Structure 1
Amino acid sequence: MIRFLFRFVGLWILAGAFVALVLDGVRSIASSEIVTTPLGVTWLATSPDSLTRFQSFVETRVSAGVWETLVVPVLGAPLFVVAGVLGLLLMLIGRPRAV
């Protein structure tokens, strides 16, 4: 049951990554240059309070260095890449056992 849930959520996240890729592609065609939307920009536009709470959580509970070296580059990566990797990881975790 839990494997199905991982595959189900992973598939939805992959679908979202595809939508983000298409939107970036349309914006790139319209502006005649490569345009990507970073994860941080999307998160800030969607829920700025949760982003600031996540930042304070990481800086106080883990380390400020982790925020700068690990989280900031991920927030700067294109949304479709981050969502695609996350979706693929969930799909791999939920794959059926080999017989």
Structure 2
Amino acid sequence: MRLTCPLCGARDRREFTYQGDAIMLTRPSNDDPTAFSDWLHLRDNPAGRTRDLWYHEAGCCAWLVVERDTVTHAVHSVALVEGEDAD
């Protein structure tokens, strides 16, 4: 699989480290311990299209949101995390 880093261009997947579901960008408030615990510990594992966090470890050290298909391995988009709405 190849990912196209917005800063470095097309690179082999081995330059990147998978960091999990991009849901980690939308942390709930600590006011609701149950919602926070669910956000931290419960993960969906869907077959098909996903939004994931990747770290470009062997390149520019950027955090990326990668939209990809876990069945076909097709990469649909790659964006810098700072371009996301990460409230």
Q: TM-score, normalised by structure 2?
A: 0.24
Q: Which has the larger radius of gyration?
A: 1
Q: TM-score, normalised by structure 1?
A: 0.22
More strand by share: 2
